Amino acid sequence: MAAAVVRGGTEILSSVVQGQVEVHEPYGGVVPELASRDHVRCVSSVVEAALAQAGIPSHELSAIAVTAGPGLIGSLLVGLSFGKALAYRLGVPMVGVHHLKGHLASAELADPSLRAPYIGLLVSGGHTALYRIEAGAAPRLLGETRDDAVGEAFDKVAKLLDLGFPGGPAVSAAAESGDAAAVRFPRPMVDRAGFDFSFSGLKTAVALEVERRAECGALGAADIADIAASFEAAAIEVLVSRARQALRELGIGRLAVVGGVAANRRLRAEMANAAAEDGFEVSFPPPALCTDNAAMIAAAGSQLLARGDRHGLDLNSFSRGSGPL
């Protein structure tokens, strides 16, 4: 659960995030029922904390932005219901924001000098996609994953290696002491036309390698580190390669990398190297704006409100779809 107060769509006055790692860690992944119940428990206190941190009383709010989807429907409904009630009580407009639009908006929120056109690479637990960003227009989808998102692949590999939850940071931590060249895992889709991604084959290759090594005895710390490093290298190479391809083919010289996986240190380093080699500009939001947060939703909502978008109390949540943003 998260709440933020943003002025003018660009100035973050407060940003409060109530994490749920302790809620889900015993189960090795997110349990939807527990997630929504925890949202119900903390939504009021999180919003109150954001207002207090900003020093803004609720009656001074000019609009409410709330995530409409995609995501876990129970959790989305908690936030949407609260947002509707708050907007109704304050008599201010409300706008429902596509979660992916929020992540893309985090790029300009973090770097006000970033100007369209640019390519947005969105990498998270549920989504992996490339978008073309043009001023005053909805982001245009160029390509997306055909199966697993890259963040989902990190989580599944973490589970295979018994590294704990959340998987992304756990795999990256294990990879630091490993040899990225120990196993030559596949780089799916990098030689194909278009801008789509696929990570299920890479995940399967890791599972087979784990099984092969386990047959020879228990996996030691060195095995785990090498597999983690080799997997991370393969996944990052796919992301960097696809982004470079999109920039070259579309003749655009700016890239913004957003979403939870954008906090990955290897991705940041490899993309910076690619930018130096190819001559494009690349920007990453700070880690606090990479993972799910409300400031990016407020920024995206401000853009939608500026376009004249408004939503009524009949707005509903949706669990799936990358759709129009």
Residue 18 is predicted with a pLDDT of: 83
Q: Which of 264, 281, 247, 312 is nearest to 92 (CA)?
A: 312
Separation of alpha carbons 120 and 105, rounded Å: 10
Pick the CATH number of 115-284 from 3.40.630.10, 3.30.420.40, 3.40.50.1370, 3.40.1180.10: 3.30.420.40
Q: Is the pLDDT of residue 323 over 50?
A: no
Mean pLDDT of 300-315: 92
Entry pTM? 0.90
At 278, give phi and psi (nearest 5°).
Answer: -95, -15
Q: Is the dihedral of CA 52, 54, 55, 57 positive or negative?
A: negative
Separation of alpha carbons 44 and 36, rounded Å: 14
Q: Is the pLDDT of residue 126 over 90?
A: no
Kindly list the distances between the CA atom of residue 61 and the CA atoms of 5, 105, 294, in Å, as whole numbers in the listed order.
9, 20, 15
Q: Which of 116, 104, 30, 32 is nearest to 259 (CA)?
A: 104
CATH topology of domain 2-102+290-306: Nucleotidyltransferase; domain 5 (3.30.420)
Q: Which amino acid is at 255?
A: L
One fold for 2-102+290-306 and 115-284: yes
Separation of alpha carbons 195 and 119, rounded Å: 12
- Banded model confidence at residue 245, pLDDT cuts 50, 70, 90: very high
Q: Is the pLDDT of residue 324 over 70?
A: no
Residue 71 is predicted with a pLDDT of: 85
For the chain, the structural domain boundaries read 2-102+290-306, 115-284
Per residue in 252-296, pLDDT (tens digit) is 999 999 999 999 999 999 999 999 999 999 999 999 999 999 999
Q: Is the pLDDT of residue 230 over 80?
A: yes
At 217, give phi and psi (nearest 5°).
Answer: 135, 175
Q: Is the pLDDT of residue 322 over 70?
A: no
CA angle 146, 151, 157 (to 5 degrees): 100
